[in-house]
Chain A
């Protein structure tokens, strides 16, 4: 049988796709199922001594106050972080479009934090935010505002960590929106101007709807990022991770502590399954709610 050229190409494409597919199945999907399996056992280093406990760990999930705290904190991080970084990113991208020169310079500056290692960022910020020596409090005092404890206060620590993460992700967000803005054909704006539209209406009816794909991507990726928040939290308060008083504890950090400081890998796996379900669910909901066809 002779294949058409198109079919032959498709066949080759499938052959090449099997390699990353196998990789994905083995290194991504298989461990996910393994976690599910692990969550049904009491962990022991020797596989022969792992005791089957069924849904015991899932019952424990329901009555674990630390887990509730971690879950609540994680949601707060997401609710604070995602809208802030998208709003700020969009504003900066729109402003950058108006700048006649030095755009690359600004872009590089905004992008720099994103490529700086999170550990270094956390270290520098913990100094900047110090109540007694920090630059931020220095400025507040100049403005007549009393020094704030930031990372040491159980009420301020979480928004402070969220702010550091927003600051760090901002550059990536700006670059995304700039690319999105570039991709909108100029003719639309010209046509609208001829019809008498200006300023806000141009944004409302052309820019915003046509940025939708970028927005969906940002919301989904941003949400997943905040739901998995770990590095900054660990390093901003290294000796009392997730502290003070669990006010910055996230799900990912809790999983890490359970698994690798307390060696309760079975229960940690159950929390992992919960996090997995949470991410899957929010992603599906977001994709459904946010994606829309644009009619011009």
Chain B
């Protein structure tokens, strides 16, 4: 027995040292790339037997590369992906399920929304950080308009928005709210307004669309009225990939609803005083709701044998509490661990605070085909805004289309 142990002690580290190289893929985002590079250095120092190769691709080409590389046996062992992509990837065979003890670790230690990393009861990835939505507002514009504090209810939100909207001869030069159906607003309608108005967007098992009910209709009508009735904004005010955010940074938009991932960009770009507030409510003391999301690290089918062991060890390292703390400082994304979120230093922070407080009640949409489902809600909004369709009819079409997508996946 002792001989056997000695044998292992002698050879196991050696075999590791000689052979295991794993590959990690994520999309190109500077602070994330730098953070992972630093983490790989630390990990390799702790695990001399494992080498991690880090590769990045532009965001638009990322899924394309994954789709082509893995079947060719060339891709990553550990891959970073948006939680909403997981079902699509699982179905097409691009992700490998994690061992059962990982699911227990996730259940016990991570914020509730991380459950969305499970597909059909199996766990396919673990996040380092999570995000939620909040209201960014331009303090300088607020002061000029004589508004003291960010709006707490939607009623106040509309009043502030109208004060801050400037229109000249049919064209807006400044708007109160950066309407962006294809930005974060489709989440706002689906996960925030529907719930605040007393409804549920989906059944608990995520297999049935429920937003076509009364609350959903109220949500879509109310949201589209921001443009049609109250005129606090107009879609496509600023052109470009993230026009609503660019317009805010340019000081032309007084308020936007955006994710915590936007903090860095706004911090770097904005040349004025700005603040962050929790999303407004239907009425004081009304129901709170938020959309939570995350990028997770999953294992691909390429990670087999000793590679799988090494990949799991790396996964464990980049999702540890220690890494999460480092990630917050370096990248500015909120930790995914329940323990860390409870830290009062974080919840009282003027910028992170509103996001952290929202995490407690944030829910991640149970996407099975994120690209198609996003489009359903964006189109539902656009049919009303751009074609003047009745919200009830538009919502009915959307619910039917989305139910088809869900049925297709779960059949």
Contacts and interface: CB of A to CB of B under 8 A. Distances in A.
A134 B378 CA distance: 24
Contacts of B383: 245
A243 B378 contact: yes
A115 B168 CA distance: 38
A253 to B, nearest CB: 12
A49 interface: yes
B386 A240 contact: no
Contact of B387 (A239, A245, A262): A245
Nearest to A50: B93
A123 B94 contact: no
A160 interface: no
B173 interface: yes
B92 A257 contact: no
A228 to B, nearest CB: 17
A216 B180 CA distance: 45
B92 A261 contact: no
A137 B171 contact: yes
Contacts of A259: 64, 67
Nearest to A247: B386
Contact of A130 (B88, B239, B378): B239
Contact of B236 (A146, A152, A262, A265): A152
Contacts of A151: 236, 239
Nearest to A123: B240
Given A244-B386, A245-B379, A132 B93 contact: no
Interface in A202-239: 238-239
A154 B94 contact: no
A245 B242 CA distance: 19
B382 interface: yes
B46 interface: no
A43 interface: yes
B182 A265 contact: no
A137 B89 CA distance: 44
Interface residues of A, number: 40
B378 A263 contact: no
A66 B383 CA distance: 16
A104 interface: no
A293 B235 CA distance: 54
A232 to B, nearest CB: 14
A291 interface: no
* Most interface-central of B88, B170, B378, B386 (chain A CB within 10 A): B386
Which one of B236, B240, B241, B386 has the greatest number of beta carbons of chain A within 10 Å?
B236
A262 B71 CA distance: 16
Contacts of B172: 132
Contacts of B239: 126-127, 129-130, 133-134, 151
A245 B386 contact: yes
B93 A261 contact: no
B163 to A, nearest CB: 19
Contacts of A137: 171
Contact of B386 (A126, A134, A154, A260): A154
A47 interface: yes
Contact of B171 (A147, A152, A245): A147
Given A147-B170, A151-B236, A245-B387, A265 B92 contact: yes
B94 A263 contact: yes
A159 interface: no
Nearest to B244: A239
B93 A46 contact: yes
B329 to A, nearest CB: 30
A141 B71 contact: no
Interface in A253-274: 256-257, 259-265
Contact of B382 (A43, A46, A245, A263): A245
B169 A141 contact: yes
A132 B71 contact: no
A44 B92 contact: yes
Contact of A152 (B180, B235, B242): B235
Contacts of B182: 239-240, 243
A93 to B, nearest CB: 33
Contact of A131 (B67, B171, B379): B171
A282 interface: no
Nearest to A240: B182
Nearest to B71: A45
Interface string B88-103: 1101111000000000
A160 to B, nearest CB: 13
Given A44-B92, A130-B239, A244 B382 contact: yes
Given A152-B386, A238-B240, A260-B64, 11 more contacts: A49-B93, A123-B240, A126-B240, A130-B236, A132-B171, A137-B171, A154-B382, A154-B386, A239-B241, A245-B386, A263-B67
23 contacts: A45-B301, A46-B301, A127-B240, A130-B239, A131-B234, A132-B173, A134-B239, A137-B171, A141-B171, A152-B235, A152-B236, A238-B240, A239-B182, A240-B375, A240-B382, A243-B182, A244-B382, A245-B382, A245-B386, A245-B387, A246-B379, A256-B64, A261-B63
